[in-house]
A and B are shown apart, each in its own frame.
Chain A
Amino acid sequence: MPENGIGASSVRREDIRFLSGNGKYTDDINVHGQKYVFFLRSDVAHGKINSIDTSKAEAVSGVVGIFTGDDFVEVGGLPCGWQVTDRFGEVMKEPGHPVLAQGKVRHVGDPIAAVVADSLEIARDAAEVINVDLEELPAVVDMKAAVEGGTLVHDEIETNLCYDWGFVEENRDAVDEAIKSAHHVTTLELVNNRLVPNAMEPRVAIGDYDASNDQSTLYTTSQNPHVIRLLMGAFVLQIPEHKLRVVAPDVGGGFGSKIFHYAEEAFCTLAARKLRVPVKWTASRTESFITDAHGRDHVTKIELALDENGMFQAIRTDTCANMGAYLSTFSTSVPTWLHGTLMAGNYKTPLIYVNVKAVFTNTVPVDAYRGAGRPEATFQLERVIDKAAREMGMDPVEIRRKNFIQKDEFPYATPVALEYDTGDYDATMDKLHEIADLDGYEARAKASREKGLLRGLGINCYIEACGIAPSNLVGMLGARAGLYESATVRVNATGSITVMTGCHSHGQGHETTFPQVIADMIGISEDQVHIQHGDTSNTPMGMGTYGSRSIAVGGAAMVRATEKIIAKAKKIAAHLMEASAEDIELKDGSFSVVGTDKSVGWGDVCLAAYVPHNYPLEELEPGLEETAFYDPANFTFPAGAYACEVEVDPDTGKVDICSFAATDDFGNVINPMVVDGQVHGGIAQGIGQALREHAFYDENGQLLSGTYMDYSMPRADDLPSFVVDHSCQTPCTHNPLGVKGCGEAGAIGSPPAVVNAVIDALNKGGFDVNHIDMPLSPSRVWTAING
């Protein structure tokens, strides 16, 4: 393994500040003279606001300003970034999403009023004496009930159905026919449970306004400061980009939940302008539970048609996807383009039809959460395959293998619009067999039986589409943004390098891994490269970090910019050595003339660029700084195979994860240690979804699991150590690094492995149980066992 550059497990340089308490998260920022905002939020899921009386609150000493929806009528609502067109060619229903509620509240947590005061305590005390005449309305929580009508979340759109999407619509009849005439059809109805992303850092927003130059600054916990500047500036507050700076400093985890533009960001920015004081908001964890966009929440029926040999013939799915009360930024794309296109999985199913009904309910908005649509696709597919194997008396690994797309069949066009560039699914399955020690399984099962426990083994595959995405393609599909990424590579006069990237690191380690790439390309030490990100005022316009895109898209932009740097540096070197640029070679930080012993160092060339005394000024500008925007040609397709072993206690229904093994094909890997860490974290979140986590609403729209006492986060003693491997590598063919991205794989591949394992344990133990909905809590498992 190399010690420097691509492939090295370089320790993370950012860790030093995090480990010594010197990280700078948004809440660590205090702007001189700042005031504090407290949001008065709805405690009912649905209600009509008859009146709001703020007079008593205004009289509280220390209150600086009070705002209600009426103060925001002139600004736009929060925009949705993706317009979906339904099966009938109609565009989706897109009701307004006001910054502060106007006329109605639509979920517990919807902000009714905001108090800005000298201290948070004063703001909170004042909010308590705001008198809201709120007429509670019946809440609609269940998606089926919502589709049937009755109570409307948004009266003006006259339905709770956002869209009824069919994909691929032209396949609909052929799929119906294939299922009707199939040798065998396996049907499974399942729920993909609603989750709360729960990044450990709660969201924070600080608005600041400098009247001297009419400049607004927003400090915010965001994965994509440029996207926030674009959405908030252009659509909500009408502040042009050059008057608006968005800073996302160190961010304590995102997992998707910090992609979106939230009301509090717009509020703090506008309130600072109106009040001419900085305004700070820090979410309490309780507030996070009822305001951060939730994830998943699909109810699905999937049918898999097979021939007598177990070959897949067709797939038909029918899904209801919860949007919550409003359309969050990318909510509409998750159950459609990020889900339907993945239904082919790793298999050669010729016919697929996916139907998705997106539904409004009186709950917190739902949007992308680690994996975003791909976990939902993988879960149903890998569960129904297991059920089909059981029904047909086939081995679950064999049935998968015989349906795999074979390694010599790439590039492979699926019936759901994707073209996979590379893969070798048998190789990852072989590797899994080895690292999970599947040969030793029977002995371990026997040991479990001797303890009176049921042991089960769950195996599944996954594929995901990452590196989102070709801009022209997503534009055709309804995205209201491009999805390129950018990098400016600034070489300093003494040869050190500053890279300004539009990506954002909130745990992924870009400050360490991006320099590894440049170090490799130029042949200098990683320490000479510094990564700058998170501030729209000093980075080029970029789309941020999500969808496992940073290295595949942002890394590619950085490579392109560095290639331009190298090309120019070669010309400078050629001049210095009186040779032709075509004859210059760069190796180990030194330029040489091929076939001679002439050479000049990287540092000398950089210095010449900035002190151009001996320099071809007629042909070449001084300086060494280049920018590149990279728009990917295709998605990348990481894929893998996962194995989970569980023990189930039949007396209590408690599930213990005994082992978890993951083989992933991420293409080329920049930093194996960082990649391992990404997979570990994803697996933990997937196990959390499978066994513990559930954002559970009662019929009145109250979130019953709204604190860490009720929402069961996976803790250290709930999880085993993991066995992970990414040595099976089929490099991506269309980006310059051959990378595929690794951020979401663990969360996509792991839930079906856990559930497959539990169902396997129960069946081997003699219990005829086909499915249990996540989370597989002891009571659900016990109930399944005991009928």
Chain B
Amino acid sequence: MATVTMTVNGKSVSGEVEGRTLLSDFVRNNLNLTGTHIGCDTSQCGACVVHVDGKAVKSCTIFALEVEGSTVKTIEGMANPDGSLGVVQQAFQDNHGLQCGFCTPGMVMSAAALLDENPNPTETEIREYLEGNICRCTGYHNIVKSIQAAAVAA
């Protein structure tokens, strides 16, 4: 066991982890931030995407110890300071960009990272960027629409 310390959603946190503990497990089990989801065991689905130092990362592909000292943001950190939905989240609700909600945290985190890099993406750019996020419910149509709406609203 080793101690790892990082900033998660603006708060400094630390915990005891094994070398093999994944960031996704640390966030879910140690921090009880269960918004980050696990949809696969081959790094293919993107349900687990979080931001590490501002970049979208599949948290199941990285060990907790690797992010020592980093700044992590999860879906729980995406709301406005007053607790209302942030711009990307609100766009997903307004455009029915989610159904069962399981892929949604990863989708929102990926979408936010895309809009950081490219504030006005085309439909093709959005679809290509989401290559690593699988959604089984929506057919992506309304996810694309949500991200376009978020781009306009931002």
Which residues of A are interface residues toward B (Cβ below 8 A)? 11-12, 14-25, 27-28, 198-202, 250-253, 255, 284-286, 506-509, 673-674, 676-677, 680-685, 707-709, 713-717, 719, 721-722, 746
Question: What is the total number of residues of chain B having a CB less than 8 Å from a CB of chain A?
Answer: 53
Q: Can you list 7 pairs linking A and B with CB atoms under 8 Å apart?
A: A11-B94, A19-B78, A285-B41, A507-B101, A676-B142, A684-B140, A708-B42
| Contact assessment for B134 and A708 in the assembled complex, using a CB-CB cutoff below 8 Å | yes
| Contact assessment for A677 and B142 in the assembled complex, using a CB-CB cutoff below 8 Å | yes
| Contact assessment for B130 and A253 in the assembled complex, using a CB-CB cutoff below 8 Å | no
B53 beta carbon closer than 8 Å to chain A: no
Which chain A residues lie closer than 8 Å to B102 at the CB level?
23, 25, 199-201, 252-253
A273 to B145, CA, bound (A): 49
B133 beta carbon closer than 8 Å to chain A: yes
For A197, the closest partner residue in chain B by CB is: B136
Q: How many whole Å from A742's CB to the nearest CB in chain B? A: 13
| Contact assessment for A707 and B42 in the assembled complex, using a CB-CB cutoff below 8 Å | yes
B65 beta carbon closer than 8 Å to chain A: no
Q: How many whole Å from B111's CB to the nearest CB in chain A? A: 11
| Contact assessment for B93 and A508 in the assembled complex, using a CB-CB cutoff below 8 Å | no
For B90, the closest partner residue in chain A by CB is: A19
| Contact assessment for A200 and B42 in the assembled complex, using a CB-CB cutoff below 8 Å | no
Q: How many whole Å from B78's CB to the nearest CB in chain A? A: 7
A24 to B32, CA, bound (A): 12
Which residues of B are interface residues toward A (Cβ below 8 A)? 33-42, 44-45, 47, 74-76, 78-79, 85, 89, 92-94, 96, 98-105, 108, 123-124, 126-128, 130-131, 133-145
Which chain A residues lie closer than 8 Å to B79 at the CB level?
20
Given A27-B38, A716-B130, answer yes or no on A18-B98 (Cβ-Cβ < 8 Å).
Answer: yes
For A679, the closest partner residue in chain B by CB is: B139
Q: How many whole Å from A2's CB to the nearest CB in chain B? A: 17
A19 interface neighbour in B47, B100, B104, B136, Cβ under 8 Å: B104
Known A19-B98, A200-B137; further 19 A-B contacts with Cβ < 8 A: A12-B96, A15-B101, A16-B93, A21-B105, A25-B34, A200-B45, A200-B102, A200-B134, A251-B100, A253-B137, A507-B99, A507-B137, A509-B99, A676-B96, A677-B96, A681-B136, A681-B137, A707-B42, A716-B126
Q: How many whole Å from B112's CB to the nearest CB in chain A? A: 12
| Contact assessment for B100 and A201 in the assembled complex, using a CB-CB cutoff below 8 Å | yes
Which chain A residues lie closer than 8 Å to B92 at the CB level?
15, 19
| Contact assessment for A708 and B78 in the assembled complex, using a CB-CB cutoff below 8 Å | no
B35 interface neighbour in A21, A684, A707, A717, Cβ under 8 Å: A21
A676 to B126, CA, bound (A): 21
Q: How many whole Å from A14's CB to the nearest CB in chain B? A: 7
| Contact assessment for A252 and B37 in the assembled complex, using a CB-CB cutoff below 8 Å | yes
Which chain A residues lie closer than 8 Å to B38 at the CB level?
27, 202
| Contact assessment for A21 and B76 in the assembled complex, using a CB-CB cutoff below 8 Å | yes
Q: How many whole Å from A375's CB to the nearest CB in chain B? A: 16
Which chain A residues lie closer than 8 Å to B140 at the CB level?
680, 684, 715-716, 719
Which chain B residues lie closer than 8 Å to A506 at the CB level?
100
